[in-house]
Amino acid sequence: MYTEQFTEVHDILATLKPTAVNSAVGVHNSGYVNMADYHRAFVWLALGDADAGATIDVAITEATSAAGAGAAALLTIAGATKNPAQIVVADAGGHVGIEVRSPELDVSNGYGFINVAVTVTGDQFVYDLIIFGIVSRYEPVGATDFLYLLP
């Protein structure tokens, strides 16, 4: 709705901060977050500086628990993957957005948790990852998720 503030309908579920550890070569996981309380999630990846030859691959998996039980690649209803093309040095300074709707999860088999894995290869690539829970199903979004709230 027009009168709703961003902070009233978007909840921060997980983050990977732009630290040296997360920009280093390797796989960095958000950890599984529960989608049961949200109709949608939005994965936002902000791309910072990258060393020559650095790349990023993003993979979203779904599971039946926060521990990652039964982990499987997240597929859309049409069967296409939610993972974007490989991110390269020329993409530095850009943004990647991936929306996940609850019908895309295999809820009939108990899948309700998602994890985002960011794989940095070649060299360091600075990035910031946030998973937003959007449109809360049952209760208002917490007011303490954001450092500064606008009136």
Domain boundaries along the sequence of the chain = 6-136
| CB-based burial label for 118 (10 Å; 0-12, 13-18, 19+) | buried
Write the class of the CATH domain 6-136. mainly beta
Structure tokens at 57: 């691959």
- Averaged over successive runs of 10 residues, the pLDDT of the chain (151 residues) comes to 69 86 93 92 94 94 96 70 85 92 90 95 95 81 57 49
pTM for this model (two decimals): 0.85
Per-residue model confidence (pLDDT) at position 142 = 63
Per-residue model confidence (pLDDT) at position 125 = 96
Per-residue model confidence (pLDDT) at position 20 = 86
> Which amino acid, 9?
V
Residue 122 to residue 111: CA distance in whole angstroms: 33
